[in-house]
Amino acid sequence: MMMENTTEQYALITGASQGLGKYLATELAARKINTILVSLPGQGIESLCKEIRNTYGVDSLAYESDLSVNGNVMKLARWVNENYSVYILINNVGIGGTSKITETDVEFFNQLLQLNVVATSVLTHQLLPNLNKQRQSYILNVSSIAAFSPIGYKTAYAASKAYIHSFSRGLYQELKDSNVMVSVVHPGPMPTNEEVILRINKQGILGKLFLQNPEKVAKTCVSRLLRKKPIIMVNPFSWLLLNILPICLKTPLLTKTAYREVMVGK
Ligand SMILES: NC(=O)c1ccc[n+]([C@@H]2O[C@H](COP(=O)([O-])OP(=O)(O)OC[C@H]3O[C@@H](n4cnc5c(N)ncnc54)[C@H](OP(=O)(O)O)[C@@H]3O)[C@@H](O)[C@H]2O)c1
């Protein structure tokens, strides 16, 4: 890991080796923004950084760490704060899944809460003094349309994304007169990896109705973040639908869709 003090400003993205995080990283680089990319060890993040440096002529640094361990989140924050000026923080890392709660491995359950809720909150808290030092800073938290309704069989995931929505909106209010802008994005299903594609296919019509291209989502996110939009709805149709439907209708409907995911192929 490189240790150097620099006067350049950086964007930090968690979960950047693949999926939405990777597209966000390249979109920022295309806009000539230096990046610090974080992912699990052994996932090729250094070669992505090299590709970005060569293609876009900006700096891109790799940091490998398992953020499901809270001590590692603190270590990352310390390393960043001691060495780099960060003016964009994108809390993208997050995992999901569909299963009966009694059949969910407790390790996975803990990991989900740590990655989706704790890592985002702690990293934001620890990086705020750094973000505050910059003339203008931006935080983007990645939630989901799952934030807008409780969903059985995705119970912890939907709850974690509702937390991210609430955390981001609260922080936006708290910091709105400061130099730190806080935004939250609510993507629908995106075919980002094999596991997600398998799950979307099992969802039937609803999954396909909300489907979004992660590259397009990343472009929209960056453009609206830099235009200081506090809530980024990448699919207004799904947002409208989930806001119109009363909870007594949408929760059973979405739970039924999630149940299909659990049962198809069993
Ligand atoms: N895909 C969807 O349908 C969808 C819909 C709505 C919202 N979202 C949200 O969008 C965000 C990105 O989703 P995605 O589908 O692009 O995810 P993804 O393809 O699974 O990528 C997840 C990223 O997080 C990293 N990661 C996973 N576990 C980690 C850990 N323990 N420590 C550090 N990094 C870890 C992965 O790194 P490695 O490659 O090193 O494992 C990868 O870079 C998530 O917050 C997700 O909840 C996704």
Residues having CB within 6 Å of any atom of ligand 1:
15-21, 39-40, 43, 66-68, 92-96, 115, 142, 144, 187, 189-190, 192-193, 196
196 pLDDT band (50/70/90 cuts)? confident
Q: Quick one: what percent of the chain has pLDDT higher than 70?
A: 96
Of 14, 17, 232, best ligand 1 pocket probe by most atoms within 8 Å of the beta carbon: 17
240, 147 contact by CB (below 8 A): no
What are the domain boundaries of the chain?
9-263
- Weakest-pLDDT range from 88-102, 143-157, 186-200: 186-200
Per-residue pLDDT at 210: 78
pLDDT at 7: 67
135-174 tens-digit pLDDT: 999 999 999 999 999 999 999 999 999 999 999 999 999 9
Ligand 1 atom 14 nearest Cα: 19
Q: Whose C-alpha lies nearest to ligand 1, atom 15?
A: 192
End-to-end CA distance of the chain: 44
Task: Give CATH for domain 9-263.
Answer: 3.40.50.720
The radius of gyration of the chain's CA atoms, rounded to the nearest angstrom, is 18
Give 95's contacts (C-beta < 8 A, 6+ positions apart).
Answer: 108, 111, 112, 115, 116
Give the ligand 1 atom nearest the CA of 18.
Answer: 43
CA of 188 to the centre of ligand 1 (A): 14
Q: Ligand 1 centre from 116 Cα, in Å?
A: 9
Residue 2 has pLDDT above 90, yes or no: no
Cα–Cα distance measured from residue 92 to residue 10, given in angstroms and rounded to the nearest whole number: 16
pLDDT at residue 201, rounded to an integer:
83
Q: Residue 210's CB: how many other CB atoms inside 10 A?
A: 20
Q: What is the pLDDT of residue 1?
A: 44
Whole-angstrom CA distances from 6 to 10, 19, 78, 191, 248 are: 10, 29, 15, 37, 53
Q: pTM (2 decimals)?
A: 0.96
Burial call 112-139: b when 16+ CB within 10 Å, e when fewer: bbbbbbbbbbbbbebbbebbeeeeebbb
